[in-house]
C-alpha cells in the first residue's frame, strides 16, 4: 500500500487534474486486503480555494483513504516542513512525495513504488533522461539547478550515487529511515532526509533512483523567490554539514 503526500500552496487551478491523475494511477496499483492506498494533501495556501478544489475533486472517492489538511498560518513551516508533516501523518510505511502543480508525472508512482521493495529511499531524477529538466520554467533556473546539483552530487558521492539531490519527487520507506526533526524552513526535504540518514551511520541506506522528465506547470506560478532561494542555500549548507 502506498501513501502519496502532495504539497500545495495556492494551486487551486492545478490540483483537480493532479488529484484525478493520482487517483487513476493509485487505482491501478494492487493493494492487499489488509490495507488501502492513501492521499495526504498538505496545503499551506493563503485562502481555502485549493483545499476546496481538492475536496471537490475527491468527493465520493471510496477506494482510497484521504487526509486533506489545510494548515493555519501559525502551523506553517515552509515546504520542507510541509513534506515532513505529510510524511509523519501518512498511514502507510511506503510514501511518495510529489508537487501539486502537475510537474511530477503521476505514472511515475508505479516505478517509485516498485523500487521501494528493494530500496529505502528512491529519488525521481531529472538528469537521467535527455532534457529531463526541460520543464523547469527558465533557462537560468536550469543552469542554477544543475550547478548546485553538481556540488551536492560531490557531497553525497562518498556514500551514494545520486544524480538529482534537489529533486522534490521521491519515495521513502518510513520503516527503514528516520525523519529529521528540523526543517530549517527550507525547500529540499529529499536532500535533508538523505543527509540525515547517511549521517546516522547505524544502518546502511539503500538508495536508488528512476529517471523522469519534469513537466511544465499546469497553471499558476512557481513559489520560488529570491528569499526562498537563500533559504534553500542555507538548508543545503546545514544538511551537507551533517556529512562533514
Ligand atoms: N504545503 C506547502 N506547499 C508548498 C509551499 N511552497 C511551495 N509549495 C508547493 O510545492 C510544490 C513546488 O513548488 P513550486 O512553487 O512549484 O516550486 P518549483 O517547482 O521548484 O518551481 C508546489 O506544489 C507548490 O504549491 C509551502 O510553503 N507549503
Ligand atoms: Mg513546481
The CATH code of the domain that includes 145 is 3.90.550.10
Residue 104's pLDDT is 98
7 close to ligand 1 (CB < 6 Angstrom): yes
Residue 202's pLDDT is 67
Q: How many CB atoms lie within 10 A of CB 201?
A: 9
Question: 229 C-alpha to center of ligand 2: Å?
Answer: 14
Choose which residue among 4, 8, 134 to substitute to test ligand 1 binding: the one with the highest number of ligand atoms within 8 A of its C-beta: 8
Looking at the 3D structure of the chain, how many domains does it have?
Answer: 1
Collect residues with CB below 5 Å from ion ligand 2. 99, 101, 103
pLDDT by position in tens, the chain (length 244): 999 999 999 999 999 999 999 999 999 998 877 789 999 999 999 999 999 999 999 999 999 999 999 999 999 999 999 999 999 999 999 999 999 999 999 999 999 999 999 999 999 999 998 888 887 767 888 888 888 888 889 889 989 999 999 999 999 999 999 999 887 767 889 999 999 999 987 678 999 999 999 999 999 888 888 888 888 888 888 888 888 7
HSE-up (13 A, CA, CB side) for residue 236:
20
Question: Which ligand neighbours the alpha carbon of 103 most closely?
Answer: 2
The residue written with cell numbers 493509485 in the block is: 26
Are the C-beta atoms of 10 and 223 separated by less than 8 Å? yes
Question: 93 C-alpha to center of ligand 2: Å?
Answer: 25
For 7, the enclosing helix (H) or strand (E) is: strand 3-8
Q: Which atom of ligand 1 is nearest to the CA of 100?
A: 23
The terminus-to-terminus CA distance of the chain in angstroms comes to 36
For 97, the enclosing helix (H) or strand (E) is: strand 94-99
**C-alpha span between 169 and 214 (Å, rounded):** 10
Domain that holds residue 125: 3-241
Amino acid at each position: 500500500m502506498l501513501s502519496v503526500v502532495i504539497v500545495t500552496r495556492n494551486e487551486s487551478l492545478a490540483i483537480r487534474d493532479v488529484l484525478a491523475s493520482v487517483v487513476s494511477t493509485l487505482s491501478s496499483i494492487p493493494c492487499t486486503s489488509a490495507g488501502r492506498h492513501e492521499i495526504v494533501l498538505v496545503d499551506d495556501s493563503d485562502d481555502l480555494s485549493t483545499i476546496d478544489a481538492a475536496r471537490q475533486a475527491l468527493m465520493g472517492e471510496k477506494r482510497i483513504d484521504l487526509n486533506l489538511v489545510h494548515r493555519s498560518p501559525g502551523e506553517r513551516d515552509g515546504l520542507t516542513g510541509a513534506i515532513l508533516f505529510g510524511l509523519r501523518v501518512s498511514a502507510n510505511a511506503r510514501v511518495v512525495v510529489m508537487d501539486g502543480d502537475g510537474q511530477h508525472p503521476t505514472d511515475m508512482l508505479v516505478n517509485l513504488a516498485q523500487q521501494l521493495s528493494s530500496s529505502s529511499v528512491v529519488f525521481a531524477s531529472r538528469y537521467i533522461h535527455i532534457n529531463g529538466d526541460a520543464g523547469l520554467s527558465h533557462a537560468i533556473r536550469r543552469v542554477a539547478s544543475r550547478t548546485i546539483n553538481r556540488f551536492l552530487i560531490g557531497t553525497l558521492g562518498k556514500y551514494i550515487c545520486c544524480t538529482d539531490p534537489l529533486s522534490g519527487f521521491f519515495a521513502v520507506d518510513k520503516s527503514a529511515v528516520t525523519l529529521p526533526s528540523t526543517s530549517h524552513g527550507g525547500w529540499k526535504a529529499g536532500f535533508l532526509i538523505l543527509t540525515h540518514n547517511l549521517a546516522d551511520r547505524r544502518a546502511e541506506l539503500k538508495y536508488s533512483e528512476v529517471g523522469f522528465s519534469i513537466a511544465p506547470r499546469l497553471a499558476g506560478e512557481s513559489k520560488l523567490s529570491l528569499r526562498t532561494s537563500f533559504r534553500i542555500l542555507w538548508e543545503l549548507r546545514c544538511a551537507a554539514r551533517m556529512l562533514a
